[in-house]
Structure 1
Amino acid sequence: MKRQEVVIYAQTYDLKNDDGKLVQVGEIHILCKKQAITNENGVSNGHKIAQVEVPFEVAQKIIGQVPAVCNIEYEITVVNNALVLLPRNVQVINEIESLNILAETDYISAFG
């Protein structure tokens, strides 16, 4: 399954597996669909972030290019008797250049 997602963060790191061997892994953070949730304490609104483990090479390939809109190819896998979607390939489509609100405000006011 392939989807377009906004990836806002990517990192690589080393960790020890169950055998005590050092392995390299990656992690990406994906901006999820906008939420409007009502509960007993009130309403929350905004975007949740999914933190997903990915192969080292996948995260390494996009570091320096995120935040960006990406094509993510998911693989369905069974983890603890549950079906889970895991990203196996991430390709950057378009980098997001600036999320600096102050810079955007200055740019807009220059034309006002």
Structure 2
Amino acid sequence: MIRQEVVIFARTYDFKNDEGKLVQVGEIHILSKKQALSNGNGVSNGHKIAQVEVPFELAQKIIGQVPAVCDIEYEITVVNKALVLLPKNVQVIKEIESLNLLEEPDYIRTFGR
């Protein structure tokens, strides 16, 4: 499944696993669609951010290009007996040059609303 998403952050980092082996991984942050939620404790509105672990090479490929509108290809996988969607590939469609979306008319026309 391929979805168009806004990736606002990408990074790579190293850590040592339980066996002491150096592991390289990546992480991307994806901006959700606008939400309006209410529950017994109140109402929330806005965008949530999904922090997703991805292969090192995938994050490395888009560092320097985000924030950007991206095509993200997801694969369904099993993690702790639950089905989850994990990014398999990320392709930058359009870099977002400004933090002020009013200066990004193409972004508003192609992705927003």
TM-score, reference length from structure 1: 0.86
Give the secondary-structure state (helix, strand or coil) at the position aligned to 1:59.
Answer: helix
Flag the structure with higher strand content: 1
The 2-side partners of 1:87 and 1:60 are apart by 14
Paired with 1:33 and 1:96, the residues of 2 have a C-alpha distance of 17
Task: Give the paired residue count.
Answer: 104
Do residues 50 (structure 1) and 65 (structure 2) align? no
Residue number in structure 1 paired with 2:30: 30
| Structure 2 Cα separation of the partners of residues 85 and 39 of structure 1 | 26
RMSD, aligned α-carbons: 1.8
Is the radius of gyration larger for structure 1 or structure 2? 1
Distance 1:6 1:50 in 2: 11
CA distance in 2, matches of 1:84, 1:41: 28
Deviation at 1:39, TM superposition (A): 2.2
Between the aligned partners of 2:18 and 2:33, the Cα distance in structure 1 is: 34
Where in structure 1 do 4 or more consecutive aligned residues deviate above 6 Å?
A: none
SS at match of 1:33: coil
The percent of aligned pairs where both chains have the same amino acid is 84
- Deviations along 1:59-112, whole A, 9 cap, x unmatched? 0000010000001111111000000111011010000010147x89xxxxxxxx
Q: Secondary structure of 1:23's partner?
A: strand
Does residue 60 (structure 1) correspond to residue 65 (structure 2)? The answer is no
TM-score (structure 2 length as normaliser): 0.85
